[in-house]
Amino acid sequence: MNVREWALPVYTILMQVAVGSMLGLWLIRTVAIQQYGRFVTDRIIRIPILAVLLTVTAAIIGSHFHLSHPVFSLLATLNLRSSWLSREVLFTISFFTTIGSLSYLHWFTAGYPHLKTGLGWLAIALGLLSVYSMSKIYLLPTHSSWNSPLTVISFILTAVILGATAVAVLLLMDLKVWEEVAEQTETAVREQLIRQSFVWLAGGALVTAVINLILNLILILHLSQGDLSAQISFSLLLGLYQPLFGLRYIALFTGVGWFSLTALILFRNAKTQHEIITPIYLSCLLVLISEILGRFLFYATHVRTGI
């Protein structure tokens, strides 16, 4: 792989991070509004929403390195009827626009609560459609290692697991940035929100990681029993790329496990929110490395047959 090829993992992973973060963030917001009120909750998620916007922006910029003629990238939207790529581009741009609008509303207005809620769910829907379109691109009959519903499911699962860990990091960043200037009561709400939500985020990440492993084992089984190209992919995965395959799952379960343990310790008040920043950041880093390696393996092990 070279720079042009690495642009694909950059784009797909960042989009999945953004969509997953938005999903996790909006679920937390929905619950938190009932408990702490709309005003405080919306103030708490301002920085995370901005971070999602920056992530989508980086993803879109990164995607252009994959193109021969970046300036003509919008032409890719002309084939909506037949091309999943066109749909992916459309949904990505829509997701970006919606997140941009949401960021504006959160940073520069105090009202429009229903509009914010609606735009948030719309953004999640558009993001998930973008990820779905992204995965559908790879369902090609000529690529037996990709051409499976498992690809779609694994793309969605990746978004969920990356979102869960990224939201944890974003909430801690928000706490750290505002703690010196925010009112004490608001900081207390932030800390309480982190303690309650991290257990659910970690639980979700752990379950998703297990499902992901099972799906990968099914895929390996499928490849081992498939046609020649599948066999070659199988041999590449467990041959040349075996260390990376092992490293990917070691990093995944170390990250998710560490995240779960830290969330549990926090929930039992054995440590403060400030004491768990480094473990959570490192957990997120490990999960992200794992998913990047997974995406690398996804691209590196494919073998094309036919035309």
- What is the DSSP code string of 6-73? HHHHHHHHHHHHHHHHHHHHHHHHHHHHHHH-HHHHHHHTHHHHHHHHHHHHHHHHHHGGG-SSGGGG
Rounded to whole angstroms, how far apart are CA atoms 4 and 67? 8
Of the pair 54, 122, the CB lying nearest another protein is at 54
Of the pair 10, 160, the CB lying nearest another protein is at 10
Instruction: Determine if 240 is a binding residue for another protein (CB under 8 A).
Output: yes
Instruction: Determine if 31 is a binding residue for another protein (CB under 8 A).
Output: no
| CB of residue 284 to another protein, shortest distance in Å | 6
Instruction: Determine if 285 is a binding residue for another protein (CB under 8 A).
Output: yes
Tokens of 27: 């679920």
Rounded to whole angstroms, how far apart are CA atoms 176 and 51? 15
3-state helix, strand, coil in the chain (%, to 5): 85, 0, 15
Rounded to whole angstroms, how far apart are CA atoms 32 and 23? 14
| CB of residue 289 to another protein, shortest distance in Å | 5
Place of tokens 């960042």: 14
Of the pair 134, 169, the CB lying nearest another protein is at 169
Shortest CA distance to 87 belongs to which of 73, 98, 101, 76?
A: 76
Of the pair 48, 226, the CB lying nearest another protein is at 48
The answer to whether 22 and 126 are in contact (CB under 8 A) is: no
Q: How many residues does the chain have?
A: 307
Instruction: Determine if 132 is a binding residue for another protein (CB under 8 A).
Output: no
Binding track over 139-178 against another protein, x by CB under 8 A: ------------------------------xx-xx--xx-
| CB of residue 300 to another protein, shortest distance in Å | 7
Site stretch for another protein (CB under 8 A), options 52-60, 70-78, 82-90, 124-132: 52-60
Among 284, 298, 302, 303, binds another protein (CB under 8 A): 284
Site stretch for another protein (CB under 8 A), options 66-74, 146-154, 184-192, 278-286: 278-286
Rounded to whole angstroms, how far apart are CA atoms 243 and 70? 35
Which residues contact another protein (rule: CB under 8 A)? 1-3, 6, 9-10, 13-14, 17, 51, 54-55, 58, 169-170, 172-173, 176-177, 180-181, 240-241, 243-244, 247, 281, 284-285, 288-289, 292-293, 296, 300
